[in-house]
Structure 1
């Protein structure tokens, strides 16, 4: 017996019960919905993906070596160190704050590893753990100054930049540099170790399968709650495209050395942080605090604890980035963490799509943003252009990213999506 004959009507999803609102359905409807979201200012990763494609096309046309597998492998090695620091910046920006000391913290961590491991004879693992703990302690101090004394994060972390840099110079002493053992596992990890080719292919396929499984579970939960869900055909299409792209990338990298383990670690951290931000109560609280601190407090969120966790994680990631940078260079020096490390880490987070206004961001912003930054640096190096030009171009890209973020925020407000 049909629904009409029985006097009942087909069940309408709760979020589509209002007939005054146009609701899209099917694959074509999903595409139209995506276009509508972009027009409303919900850009997601679209600007940075388009920018990365344009940057790659320009540099490839100027120097055919740019997209060679060898250059891309080196690019991934170099991206991991600053990318991990940028991942911490994403977290602190999510709560509407900033950390200007990440470069100094990374340099201090590298110096601490060099002193404890090489000069004092500690096991490398113990030296690394102490360096990470020292980085977390820096973040805890910033959180204390912010939560208890009301010191703006801009001021406290600027003071931390100078203080921690002084500690770094003190540790390294008159020599100013400590060489790490070239035959050590840490240096090999930072310079040469790559994933077995078969494992890289397996993980690429697993990423596509994971996306399909996650989307299917999300659709099932929404249907059980009486809400509309994405069509399974669209879910499996996106998963298949992701797997195909990743397999193609892995194949191309394997023409040279392969996928660096250090970059794999960076991607694993990005995935873990992304899961925490999207699927846990802590992640939802991070977005709520960044969106409206007072509203989050009235909703029962421990704003101080959430803010403290962001500062501590940011400094810990900065310390880890410093340790990996020392492994990459096989040394800890007074120049570590200085120069453009702060600029690149903050720029990567913002260029990748994390909002400077707080409350909006993604762990993948660090991944996409650092690829843009490193692509610019690699392309200009191949063209044998000066560092001055690299600073100007990176600054221009950062300015464009902030303008896009500001305009998108205005558009979301006008469309009721903010």
Structure 2
């Protein structure tokens, strides 16, 4: 055979056998991925059942559960900010001090200087953004560890709010608009309609995404798992609405918290910025070599964290009808614990903003249930500390198991 004929012969091809079905995931893989919130949800149900039995059913009354949700609003907003920072593998120990400082700025402007509610709230938010910007610049460009920066900031901001109050321990808020933010309830039409509309949009998005991936040949989760996910979310949303409507209605502050979580979820999952946050938290050096501006991402995240802390402070001042010079000693622990219990890793690069709601509910349920049982602050703090250690230990064990499997 001549050389020309040899060159015209087609190159040999190799066939790759594609399995008709993907291997069934193990229980451990389910708990680490799509259904990772199930253990947290089961923990919440166990806590609720325990306090329901030990308080004679008082814990599960609509009035108490409505108050419970109002109590965790500030924790949830601060946990949202803490989640953003934890996704970077950093930590912010100043969120409680920043939250209280911003509420004091708002209170002093409205009550002592006659500034309108809108401008006072804006000043509080700007104050939060500036404090976060300072923290971020020190961490990102001066390379001071975030633990040291935010610890020093917490001490400094604590002194600043004392200076602003000028020796006054409590400043009462009289502005009706500020008071209404966390104490008003939505009309029944909005209270039922808005959550139901959001639920339908969520179901539509999940089903559309499932059909799109299946049509293009991409890997999809099993249909039974998808249906279970939709059923669980539907039961939680509609159950919460029915609970609120059986008392006074859906609190306005719950809509604020849900809206903020939704915005952060969209930012983290639907924008390049969100992908950069997860990339930096997963491996900062690899992210830098991929062309991501790591210092800028850190500055932006710390700024967002403190701005969210300011929003939490405004809502807390609205609900408490006052601002105080004393920072809640458990607020920082509660915000970080809610994020970690909800599945956000302390090591960065892993977690979802939605599951922090379950973490906040667990923290709030423990405090609320122990209050109903007339337990003191000492018992509550010990219990919360144990729960936080368990959550961090579980995260470390999961990380270690994934490392052994090369994931």
TM (norm. structure 1) is 0.88
The 5 A counterparts of 1:12-411 are 18-19=18-19, 23-24=22-23, 33=25, 35-38=27-30, 44-63=36-55, 64-181=57-174, 184-191=176-183, 193-223=184-214, 225-230=216-221, 235=226, 238-335=229-326, 337-411=327-401
Query: Against the structure 1 CA distance between its residues 153 and 234, is the aligned structure 2 distance closer, same or farther, given a 3 Å change threshold?
Result: closer
Aligned CA distance change for structure 1 residues 245 and 98 (closer, same or farther; 3 Å): closer
Task: String of CA shifts for 1:287-332, please: whole Å, max 9, x gaps.
Answer: 0000000000111111111111110001111111111111111111
Cα distance, 1:235 vs structure 2: 4.4
Describe the SS at the equivalent of 2:352. Answer: coil
Structure 1: runs of 5 or more not aligned: 1-15, 25-31
CA gap of 1:178–1:301, structure 2 versus 1, over 3 A, is same
Give the gaps of 5 or more residues in structure 2.
1-15
**Partners of 1:229 and 1:397 in 2: how far apart?**
34
* Distance in structure 2 (CA, Å) of the matches to 1:236 and 1:311: 37
Is the alpha carbon distance of 1:39 and 1:257 closer, same or farther for their aligned partners in structure 2, counting shifts above 3 Å?
closer
Partners of 2:333 and 2:377 lie apart in 1 by 14
Q: Distance in 1 between matches of 2:192 and 2:172?
A: 35
2:261, 2:353 within 8 Å by CA — same for their partners in 1? yes
Give 1:17 shift.
Answer: 6.2
Answer yes or no: is the 8 Å Cα contact 2:281–2:348 preserved in 1.
yes
2-side partners of 1:303 and 1:34: how far apart? 35
Identify the range of structure 1 (218-227 vs 314-323) with the bigger mean alpha-carbon deviation: 218-227
CA distance in 1, matches of 2:222, 2:142: 51
Name whichever of 63-72 and 245-254 sits farther off: 245-254
Matches of 1:59 and 1:333 in 2, distance apart?
Answer: 31
SS of the aligned residue for 2:171 comes to strand
Change (3 A) 1:260 1:41: closer
Displacement of 1:402 after TM fit? 0.5
Aligned to 2:8: none
Deviation track 1:73-119 (CA, whole Å, cap 9, x = no partner) reads 10111111121011000000000100101111011111101110110
Deviations 1:273-295 (A, max 9, x none): 11211111111110000000000
Distance in 2, Cα, partners of 1:133 & 1:83:
20
Q: Matches of 2:17 and 2:246 in 1, distance apart?
A: 53
SS at match of 2:328: coil
Deviation at 1:226, TM superposition (A): 3.2
- Take 1:96 and 1:150, find their aligned partners in 2: how far apart are those partners? 14
Determine the structure 1 residue equivalent to 2:9.
none
The farther-off stretch of 81-90 and 216-225 is 216-225
Q: Specify the SS of the correspondent of 1:66.
A: helix
Give TM-score, length-normalised by structure 2: 0.91
Paired with 1:291 and 1:249, the residues of 2 have a C-alpha distance of 35
